[in-house]
Structure 1
Amino acid sequence: MVWAVNQQIARGKRTRIWGGALLCLLFLMLATPKIPRSSKNHIFADMRNFLGVPNTLNVITNFPFLVVGVLGFVLSLQGNFFNISFPGEVWGWALFYAGITGVAFGSAYYHMKPDESRVMWDTLPMMIAYSSLYSSFIVERVSQRIGLSSLCTLLLVAFLSAAYGRAYNDLRLCMAFQLIPSIAIPGMTYVFRSQYTHARYWLFAAGAHVLAKFEGVADKKIYYVNRYLISGHSLEHLCLAMVPVLLSVMLMYRRMKVQRLGDHKERPGRE
């Protein structure tokens, strides 16, 4: 009887999560115009070359992604340094850090010669990282089963979104993935209670992500204000690298508040 009730609760949570996601996606596609790619998207404020490296600062500011990505991946699988309690979390966090590592290589490769043929190497690893991060959040807040199913679904959607953007010259789905950390995660923070301490680091990471996006939009203005020292896009890379850093600090110091009795136990209340 209890098992049946828990199963019904889990199905209800799954329905709410995916129903809300589908409604948001439908609203996005119906309410917004097509966003085509433009050659202007590949022109950045700082195009300087140092030591023979094209677009040097936009390339080398990806190095922090490599450091935190490799370290995070190893520590996620190692199992002692990060406080990861469930197998579903291991898969999600390991793939998140693998995606961050991929960002380092993909973004550097793209910025050495920004054009349409290379841009997907820049965006797809980040979409994979976002998918894994969101699934880890669901494992922590909702349940392991729903989190793992979300991981598979989101990875599939990430690849389909990339293919759609490439085939139909429409960036809307790819841009929607960039909204996951800054909108969906903070929103769900107040719906599903965390079982760990230091959960506020999710909000810190979302704030760093929002700040990074503003820096990217203000690429030329920031470059002009600081007298051509560093551009907004390079600062965007550095600020985005703070997202996995903040989440790594959370994983190091967090502790389980209350031992979970079941993977589908109802968790009422706010954080």
Structure 2
Amino acid sequence: MPGSDQRKAGLLIGSALLLIVVTLYWAPITQPASFYDYADNHQRLGINNFTNVMSNLPFAVVGLLGIRLLSQIPSRQADQVIEPEISSAYFLFFQALLATSLGSAFYHLSPDPFGLMLDRIPISLAFVNLYCIVLSEYISPRLGQRLLFPLNVYGLLAVVYWYLMTTTQGDAADLSAYILIQLLPIVHLPLILMLYKERRPGSRYYLAALVTYGFAKIAELQDTGIFMLTEGWISGHSIKHLLAALAGWWIYRLLQLRTAKR
């Protein structure tokens, strides 16, 4: 491996180890007791927390569009659009978005730890599969393939572990393992986009997805403030759903454009 490649790999490995150390240092990371108290809890059309429930529909739309697009790519031309060695990761990403719409809608009907587990599992899987996709497209398809299964298992178990801990510890249950799932891609993906050359067009769309998701997290943190600013029309959490779905749409749009250029 050339020296420059060694330095790039060293930076990624070093930053991953640093994130793990920092996460372990701050553990246990817990969620506040007020976590389930969302600003908008209005019932409409007989549906509890109507806007927070219905704002999950775009996840289903993007997920279904992505699954349909991938299903229509001829196998002989697939390598122009996706990395064939990890084709399952692309499907899993959009399937996770579809599952997010169902899990999050179920959770918001009556927020509790079990529903939150069903919400967080597909979110975790969407993150790890997108991470493996970018690793494969920019660094090595073999690397993405080798990490695909263990990271999906980790993403699932991290959330299940948190839920099991809530049965005995309540709000004191440790979220560290789940938080790491989001931190690693959020830190690594922009580094990969900067350090490695793209072998297929896509950098600006991956970057757009990351930036959009960043705004989604900001909206989530400003749930009540946005709800008051819009005079009760929409809350920050509902906007978070819409922006997170838009982040997924950027990935769909990327694959759509690649398909059009075949």
TM range (shorter): 0.7 to 0.9
Paired amino acid for 1:186: P
> Which of 213-222 and 156-165 deviates more?
156-165
RMSD: 2.6
Q: Give the deviation of 1:22 after TM superposition.
A: 3.4
Gapped runs of 5+ residues in structure 2? 166-172
Gapped runs of 5+ residues in structure 1? 256-271
After superposition, the C-alpha distances for 1:178-210 in whole angstroms (9 at most, x for unaligned) are 234432211211122111124211111100000
Q: Give the deviation of 1:247 after TM superposition.
A: 1.1
Q: Which residue of 1 aligns with 2:170?
A: none
> Which of 159-168 and 118-127 deviates more?
159-168
Query: 1: CA distance between counterparts of 2:56 and 2:174?
Result: 26
Paired amino acid for 2:129: S
Q: Give the deviation of 1:150 after TM superposition.
A: 1.6
> Which of 52-61 and 115-124 deviates more?
115-124
Question: Which of these residues, 190, 193, 197, is aligned with residue 197 of structure 2?
Answer: 193
- Secondary structure of 2:200 counterpart: coil
Question: Which of these residues, 23, 34, 37, is aligned with residue 40 of structure 1?
Answer: 34
Identity of aligned residues (%): 29
Change beyond 3 A, Cα 1:90–1:11: farther
Paired amino acid for 2:141: Q
User: 1:48-63 alignment to 2 at 5 Å?
Assistant: 48-63=42-57
Q: Which has the higher helix share?
A: 2
Aligned residues between the structures: 249
Is 1:108 aligned to residue 105 of structure 2? yes
Is 1:72 aligned to residue 66 of structure 2? yes
> Which of 63-72 and 163-172 deviates more?
163-172
Paired amino acid for 2:23: L
Answer whether contact 1:93 1:132 (CA < 8 A) is retained.
yes
After superposition, the C-alpha distances for 1:143-177 in whole angstroms (9 at most, x for unaligned) are 11100112112112212321332344111221222
TM-score normalised over the length of structure 1: 0.83
> Which of 238-247 and 87-96 deviates more?
87-96
User: 1:167-186 alignment to 2 at 5 Å?
Assistant: 167-168=164-165, 169-186=173-190
Is 1:162 aligned to residue 156 of structure 2? no
Change beyond 3 A, Cα 1:118–1:85: closer
Answer whether contact 1:181 1:206 (CA < 8 A) is retained.
no
Query: 2: CA distance between counterparts of 1:130 and 1:200?
Result: 18
> Which of 223-232 and 144-153 deviates more?
144-153
Is 1:236 aligned to residue 240 of structure 2? yes
Q: Give the deviation of 1:90 after TM superposition.
A: 1.7
Query: 2: CA distance between counterparts of 1:61 and 1:173?
Result: 27
Question: Which of these residues, 81, 85, 91, is aligned with residue 88 of structure 1?
Answer: 85
Q: Which residue of 2 aligns with 1:245?
A: 249
Query: 2: CA distance between counterparts of 1:71 and 1:98?
Result: 10
- Secondary structure of 2:24 counterpart: helix
Query: 2: CA distance between counterparts of 1:163 and 1:14?
Result: 31
Answer whether contact 1:182 1:209 (CA < 8 A) is retained.
no
Query: 2: CA distance between counterparts of 1:48 and 1:224?
Result: 14
- Secondary structure of 1:35 counterpart: coil
